[in-house]
Structure 1
Amino acid sequence: MLKWFSIKKIEVELDPLDFSVLKTDIHSHFIPGIDDGSPDMKTTISLIKEMQGLGFKKVITTPHVMSDFYKNSSDIILKGLTDIRSELKVQNINMEIEAAAEYYIDYDFEQKIGKEKFLTFGDNYILVELSFMEAPENLFDIIFKLRLEGYNVVLAHPERYAFFTMDDYEELVNRGVLLQINWLSIIGYYSPQIEQKTKDLIAADMVSFIGSDCHNMNHAELYEKCQTKKAWHDLNNSCKLLNNTL
């Protein structure tokens, strides 16, 4: 009796391409004790040292802002940023750090547009995330209103939203949304399906930013594995990334 065996495609590993070509990481959770990221200053400094060792010259840290869970105000976030900068100076660590936020588009986010000054980075970029269950019905209205207020919308880890198709991504990009994929998606950390979707987005030239979305040392220790991946090399060669403009 014949037996059929599936052959797993082996991905070719390339020479490491370090992250100094990017200069800036735009998505992390380094402010101690205010979300599900770093719990304390000691961890924060260790994470920043890891980023420095990977070649980054600057990090833009982006704590979660959620109405019902992480009720972080701009004042709370900026106070945390000041504390980190002070500790970096004390320890003589030469790493530039800024803070924005990762805004969760929940039930009352739309009401805040035009009334609240959101934390942004670079060219008035605002980082937003969605529920992993489904897209909000008012998503396009929110995007329109944000852009009307002068914000450039960056969608965090779009590859992780299983409900989006490639047509949906194209629609978002056509509406002026910039897509930010996660490093760990490239190595299949979340799932093989997310890894494939990430590669599809890169192949379609839809990716404008890449971010670590670093929460802890377990994440930080995996980023080096991304440096030999063809998807990362392809993304860098596309000349579409905006990280190094920040």
Structure 2
Amino acid sequence: MFFFKKNKLQLSSLFENGYHDIHNHLLPGVDDGAADSATTKNLFEKMEQLGITSCVMTPHIMSQVWENTKTGLTDTFNSLKKESYFEGKNIHLGAEYMLDDQFRNHLQQGPLLTIKDDFLLIEMSYHHPPLQLFDFLFELQVEGYRPILAHPERYNFYHGRMEDYKKLKKAGCLFQLNLLSVTGYYGFPVAKTAELLLSAGLYDFSGTDIHHDRHLDAFSNPIRIKKQELLQPLLSNNMLLKK
């Protein structure tokens, strides 16, 4: 039923008509993405060559790992925007919030760094979901946010548990596909889960989750899932989040 499609269509071909990326780690020196502004420039140049012409930078905010703050990230972003290369570029600042023991503090201190308006990118540990997951989702929405869960296909503890994914959707959680997942970049189980979620119509948006050159190089890999036609609407949906 799934895997592997023999068609050699490259993932990068999806960007021929332009693409707005809502998940990446281009902001320099703040997490496990770009180390400095020169790296950011190099990555963004290559993204533009692929057809990714605008983006929201979404650095990690994660306790005990990437102790970023809204003020610090905003200062870094504003400094980047002043560099001659980035003048006039369609780039914006958001964040990827880990649902951890400090998340409620961030929420209470708000406002949070959103993708656009009330759309907020969140993630979970790859080891297990937070015990307060549904409390977090409820509190976010009470505060007026619309949570977008980054790369749900990569949480192995949900693999084979479609009812859990549907429960998250019913709780008001939107889903963002990591595009590299459909090339098999993260392995067969992730690609299979991505196609299951695509087939069930559970995804809302897409993102590159680019951290480094290896991710960019992988966009030349072929799409390995069968239902490739289900991907284009997710790219189009991203335009709704363009500032």
Q: Secondary structure at the match of 2:126?
A: coil
The reply on whether 1:145 has 2:148 as its aligned counterpart is no
Report the counterpart of residue 29 of structure 2 in structure 1: 33
CA RMSD of aligned residues (A): 2.2
Report the CA distance shift for 1:92/1:66 in structure 2 as closer, same or farther (over 3 A).
closer
Q: What is the CA-CA distance between 1:85 and the residue it aligns to?
A: 1.7
1:71-112 per-position Cα deviation (integer Å, ceiling 9, x unaligned): 11111111221122222xx13775310011111111231243
- CA deviations 1:199-219 (Å, max 9, x no partner) are 111111111111110000111
Aligned to 1:242: 237
Which residue in the other structure is 2:217 paired with?
221
1:120 aligns with 2:114: yes
**Contact 2:137–2:147 (CA under 8 A) maintained in structure 1:** yes
Aligned to 2:96: 102
Q: Which residue of 1 aligns with 2:194?
A: 198
The range that moved more, 17-26 or 222-231, is 222-231
Q: Which residue of 2 aligns with 1:3?
A: none
Aligned AA for 2:43?
L
> Alignment partner for residue 45 of structure 2, among 22, 45, 49?
49
Contact 2:183 2:224 (8 Å CA) reproduced = no
**Structure 2 length normalisation: TM-score?**
0.89
Distance 1:228 1:162 in 2: 19
Q: Could you tell me how far apart the structure 1 residues matched to 2:223 and 2:5 are?
A: 17
TM value normalised by structure 1:
0.88
Would the alpha carbon gap of residues 85 and 100 (structure 1) be closer, same or farther in structure 2, given more than 3 Å must change? same
Would the alpha carbon gap of residues 92 and 40 (structure 1) be closer, same or farther in structure 2, given more than 3 Å must change?
closer
The 1:10–1:109 alpha-carbon spacing in structure 2 relative to 1, beyond 3 Å, is: closer
CA separation in 1, counterparts of 2:149 and 2:230? 21
Asked if 1:154 corresponds to 2:148, the answer is yes
Amino acid corresponding to residue 13 of structure 1 in structure 2: K
Indicate the residue corresponding to 1:4 in structure 2.
none
What is residue 84 of structure 1 aligned with on the other side? 80
Q: Secondary structure at the match of 1:113?
A: helix
> What is the distance in 2 between the residues matched to 1:24 and 1:244?
6
Tell me if structure 1 keeps the 8 A contact 2:8–2:223: no
**Alignment partner, residue 133 of structure 1:** 127
Amino acid of the structure 1 residue aligned with 2:149 = L
Q: Is the Cα contact below 8 Å between 1:226 and 1:232 reproduced in 2?
A: no
Give the structure 2 partner of residue 188 of structure 1: 184
Check the 8 A contact 1:24/1:244 in 2, yes or no. yes
Rounded to whole Å, the distance in 2 between the matches of 1:74 and 1:80 is 10
Q: Secondary structure at the match of 2:156?
A: coil
Residue segments in structure 1 that go unaligned for 5+ positions in a row: 1-7
- Counterpart of 1:29, as a letter, is H
Query: C-alpha displacement at 1:122, in angstroms?
Result: 1.7
Equivalent-residue separation in structure 2 for 1:9 and 1:116 (angstroms): 44
Number of aligned residue pairs:
236
Greater C-alpha radius of gyration: 1
Inter-partner Cα distance in structure 1 for 2:91 and 2:67: 22
Counting aligned pairs with the same residue, the percent is 33
Q: Please name the residue that 1:19 is paired with.
A: 15
